[in-house]
Chain A
């Protein structure tokens, strides 16, 4: 899925362009509309589930649905699925950093009070 190769043929003129010119990866309306329908369905599910008393599970279920929704947005709307691997690694590092700080905070909270 390398879309970012040098392709300066119609830019710059002299072939000296060392930048990476973005190219479209088979642009299609359909897949994005499908993802949107999926996102709306998940929104309906999360609202419906909130009406049921799940006790301590409610927060976990709500967060899982939110996580699935954001994965759809990231992979399809933000094109991460079709993009260079380096962006996936970046996102992974960012998420791990966030998780580490969250876990350390809860170590403090649960043992202090």
Chain B
């Protein structure tokens, strides 16, 4: 009925690790994220189809340069995440952490740009029930509604990603995530890249309409 000491010993020394399952769980989660943003993209497509003139007029309010800079920042942050994975696999812990610090800095700069971007909109009275928004056409108001929801939800994902990567950095520092046990780093990278991909679509759809 009861375990003998031998099997007890064995049970204590077995460390169960399933990197494949861990990665699969992350990918499945990412698909729910794609469908979350996908719903918003479908909403965007539908309203752009109905209000194409309003969308084109409203898009001129956005700063293409700022959008381009933010795109470059996010692409660079994605590169440094993947370089951090390579560095850790090559057993270079310090370089890996250095790359992840760059990613964190990129995320922070992205959010600061977003702060100024949104701040300028608020200043011009463009916010829900704001004075400028209420004088706009239905299409323009719809554009800004989607703009705030989609870039806002995206920004929230940047913050979550920074938290996730921060946690992974702590675990790398403590030698829990290592050259032979890096799936958590890989998963945080997958999340960060997905957030980057969403921005790759948001950028032309909101900033580059004519």
If over half of A's interface residues share one DSSP class (helix, strand or loop), that class is named, otherwise mixed; here it is: helix
B79/A22 in contact, CB under 8 A: no
Q: How far is the CA of A73 from the CA of B46 in the complex (A)?
A: 27
B72/A40 in contact, CB under 8 A: yes
Q: How far is the CA of A59 from the CA of B194 in the complex (A)?
A: 22
Number of A-B contacts (CB under 8 A): 156
Given contacts A11-B17, A63-B204, A106-B45, contact A53 B193 (CB under 8 A): no
In the complex, B3 has a CB within 8 A of chain A: no
Q: How far is the CA of A35 from the CA of B61 in the complex (A)?
A: 32
In the complex, B35 has a CB within 8 A of chain A: yes
In the complex, B151 has a CB within 8 A of chain A: no
In the complex, B83 has a CB within 8 A of chain A: yes
Chain B, residue nearest A24 (CB): B89
Chain A, residue nearest B99 (CB): A29
Chain B residues, CB < 8 A from A84: 20
Chain B, residue nearest A99 (CB): B38
Q: How far is the CA of A102 from the CA of B43 in the complex (A)?
A: 9
In the complex, B1 has a CB within 8 A of chain A: no
In the complex, B76 has a CB within 8 A of chain A: yes
Chain B residues, CB < 8 A from A53: 210
Chain B residues, CB < 8 A from A70: 197, 200-201
Given contacts A12-B15, A29-B86, contact A43 B42 (CB under 8 A): no
A77/B79 in contact, CB under 8 A: yes
Given contacts A27-B86, A73-B197, A102-B45, contact A62 B21 (CB under 8 A): no
Set A74, A77, A106, A109: member contacting B81, Cβ < 8 A: A77
Q: How far is the CA of A50 from the CA of B209 in the complex (A)?
A: 7
A43/B68 in contact, CB under 8 A: yes
Chain A residues, CB < 8 A from B24: 86-87
In the complex, B75 has a CB within 8 A of chain A: yes
Q: How far is the CA of A101 from the CA of B21 in the complex (A)?
A: 29
Chain A residues, CB < 8 A from B82: 32, 76-77
B14/A22 in contact, CB under 8 A: no
In the complex, B13 has a CB within 8 A of chain A: yes
28 A–B pairs (Cβ distance < 8 Å), ordered by A: A4-B20, A11-B15, A11-B181, A12-B16, A13-B15, A17-B14, A19-B19, A19-B21, A21-B19, A22-B183, A33-B79, A46-B208, A47-B208, A50-B208, A50-B210, A58-B208, A58-B210, A65-B204, A73-B200, A78-B190, A84-B20, A87-B23, A87-B27, A90-B28, A98-B38, A106-B46, A109-B46, A113-B50
Residues of B within 8 A of A (CB): 10, 13-21, 23-24, 27-28, 31, 34-35, 38, 41-42, 45-46, 49-50, 64, 68, 71-72, 75-76, 78-79, 81-83, 85-86, 89-90, 179-183, 186, 189-190, 193-194, 196-197, 200-201, 203-205, 208-210
